[in-house]
């Protein structure tokens, strides 16, 4: 304890130091939102101490209730707190760019050559690693967030609600927030700990943006700032749509993925049926089989899982030959860029315009208690996601009507168990675990082929 008390407050990182960190995160952000949030917590709260745990979780709680990828929006929020608007833009964009280029390259291989045995072998090993990463992240977040029986109850109820009762994620968030607010009136001591993550300085030392650090001037709420930011983002959206008017396919993508961005409550899996319905059935940018393959690519590349929209856009641009049959790669990349741009643009507005409102509430129980309830509920949702991933990896041929049909993949189960123990027991680096699992999957795939 005394060692952490003697730690000096870390120096303010330069813009370029932060730039290098966000770029690195973009390349290693495997594991979906749970894994990505866990990585950011480990780096930014525990190691670098750029932000305290309570401030980190307050920002995360806000990102959780927004449509869109919460991990990317959390990165925007922290980047904005440290380095103003450009800091937020850089953090959010570098979180996405590696995934956009990697997915576009894989999509090109997929369309141009069709033989993905090598890639599939690598991915077959990464998938069980992802299951372990998500389970580990649920354990890490739960061990910090669920500090009393009330919050454990929130997590258990949310798991039952989404797993057994199929209640939509937005309804779970709303219920947890309302119950958190009511709970703060009945038993405020249960909700004062910021989701069970209080007293972070006892564990990690003083943070650059600490619990008692005054809100920076640029993060204070001003009605004029909210108005200007909203107008700027609407103008950007309209200008890009106007540029796309020369290509009906890209214009349709802009309109469709804007709508998708506004209904992504609950993460990628909540919006995938909508993307499937639009991309496969309505616009016929790709087939149902291609959509499944795209999801596999999205699950096992860095960045938010909703980056599968880049695959949808790439295949749509390619199959529709929007620039003619001689420019298929360019057409595919244009489609991927348009899908990505319109899917993620609203997230920047929500953070850069709405962040000052959130910063004004981080010490006020009547605002923080609902978010504390939401954080606890999200632990149950992450556990449900881990089970969903595990089911698809270990029973790949199963269906909802026959959930355990088609045979059990014992080899991938062993990989998942080994990966979890490597992360939990032996504190191994996530990228090292992913690399080892990828190698095992590749060897196994060629051995059985």
In this prediction, residue 197 carries a pLDDT of 37
* Cβ density class 65-84: b for 16+ within 10 Å, e for less: bbbbbbbbbbbbbbbbbbbb
Query: What confidence score (pLDDT) does residue 32 get?
Result: 67
Going by pLDDT thresholds of 50, 70 and 90, the confidence category of residue 300 is low
Bigger pLDDT: 115 or 124?
A: 124
| pLDDT value of residue 310 | 95
Q: Note whether 34 and 138 are within 8 A (CB).
A: yes
- The reported pLDDT for the residue numbered 202 is 45
Q: Residue 51 pairs with which residues in a beta bridge?
A: 209
SS (H, E, C) 21-68: HHHHHHHHCCCHHHHHHHHHHHHHHHHCCCECHHHHHHHHHHHHCCCC
User: Is residue 198 scored above 60 in pLDDT?
Assistant: no
| pLDDT for the residue 295 | 72
Mean pLDDT of 92-118: 86
Domain limits, the chain: 3-7+13-223+349-448
Cα(234)–Cα(402) distance, integer angstroms: 47
The predicted structure's pLDDT at residue 104: 94
pLDDT of residue 194: 43
pLDDT at 6 over 80: no
Mean pLDDT across the stretch 190-213?
64
Stretch 212-229: mean pLDDT: 88
pLDDT bin (cut points 50, 70, 90) of residue 269 is low
Of 181-195, 304-318, 325-339, 400-414, which has the strongest mean pLDDT? Answer: 325-339
Instruction: Tell me the mean pLDDT in the region 58-69.
Output: 79
Please report the pLDDT score of residue 252 as a whole number.
96
Q: CA 14 from chain center: how many Å?
A: 25
| Confidence at 237, pLDDT banded by 50, 70, 90 | very high
Is the confidence at residue 386, as pLDDT, over 50?
A: yes
Mean pLDDT of 277-292: 85
Q: Which of 104-118, 217-231, 291-305 has the lowest mean pLDDT?
A: 291-305
Least confident window among 11-20, 59-68, 88-97, 332-341: 59-68
Other residues' Cβ atoms within 10 Å of the Cβ of residue 427:
7
Q: How far apart are CA 315 and CA 333, in angstroms?
A: 9
pLDDT given at position 221:
85
Angle at 286 between CA 282 and CA 291, to 5 degrees: 105
Q: How far apart are CA 76 and CA 79, in angstroms?
A: 5
Question: ∠196-302-123 over CA atoms, to 5°?
Answer: 115
**By CB neighbour count within 10 A (0-12 exposed, 13-18 middle, 19+ buried), where does 90 fall?**
buried
């Amino acid at each position: 304890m005394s060692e952490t008390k003697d730690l000096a407050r870390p120096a303010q990182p330069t813009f370029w130091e932060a730039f290098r960190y966000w770029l690195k995160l973009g390349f290693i952000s495997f594991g979906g939102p749970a894994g990505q949030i866990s990585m950011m917590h480990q780096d930014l709260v525990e190691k670098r101490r750029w932000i305290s745990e309570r401030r980190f979780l307050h920002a995360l709680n806000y990102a959780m209730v927004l449509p869109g990828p919460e991990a990317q929006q959390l990165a925007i929020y922290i980047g904005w707190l440290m380095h103003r608007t450009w800091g937020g833009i850089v953090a959010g964009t570098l979180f996405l760019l590696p995934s956009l280029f990697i997915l576009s390259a894989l999509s090109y291989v997929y369309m141009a050559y069709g033989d993905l045995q090598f890639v599939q072998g690598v991915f077959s090993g990464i998938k069980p690693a992802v299951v372990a990463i998500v389970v580990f992240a649920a354990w890490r977040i739960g061990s910090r967030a669920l500090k009393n029986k009330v919050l454990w109850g929130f997590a258990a109820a949310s798991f039952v609600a989404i797993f057994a009762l199929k209640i939509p994620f937005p309804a779970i968030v709303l219920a947890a927030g309302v119950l958190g607010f009511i709970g703060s009136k009945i038993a405020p001591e249960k909700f004062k700990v910021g989701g069970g993550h209080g007293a972070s300085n006892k564990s990690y030392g003083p943070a650059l943006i600490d619990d008692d650090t005054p809100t920076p001037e640029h993060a204070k709420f001003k009605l004029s700032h909210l108005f200007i930011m909203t107008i700027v983002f609407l103008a950007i959206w309209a200008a890009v749509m106007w540029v796309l008017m020369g290509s009906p396919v890209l214009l349709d993508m802009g309109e469709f993925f804007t709508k998708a961005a506004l209904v992504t409550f609950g993460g990628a899996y909540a919006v995938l049926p909508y993307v499937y319905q639009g991309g496969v059935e309505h616009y016929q940018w790709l087939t149902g089989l291609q959509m499944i393959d795209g999801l596999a690519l999205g699950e096992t590349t860095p960045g938010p899982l909703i980056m599968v929209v880049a695959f949808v856009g790439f295949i749509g641009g390619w199959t529709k030959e929007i620039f003619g049959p001689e420019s298929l790669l360019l057409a595919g990349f244009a489609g991927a860029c348009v899908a990505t741009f319109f899917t993620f643009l609203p997230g920047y507005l929500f953070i850069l315009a709405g962040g000052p409102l959130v910063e004004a509430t981080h010490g006020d129980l009547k605002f923080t208690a609902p978010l504390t309830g939401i954080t606890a509920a999200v632990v149950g949702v992450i556990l449900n996601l881990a089970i969903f991933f595990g089911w698809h990896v270990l029973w790949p041929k199963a269906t909802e009507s026959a959930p355990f049909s088609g045979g059990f993949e014992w080899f991938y189960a062993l990989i998942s168990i080994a990966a979890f123990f490597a992360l939990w027991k032996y504190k191994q680096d996530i990228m090292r675990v992913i690399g080892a699992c990828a190698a095992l999957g590749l060897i196994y795939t060629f051995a059985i082929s």
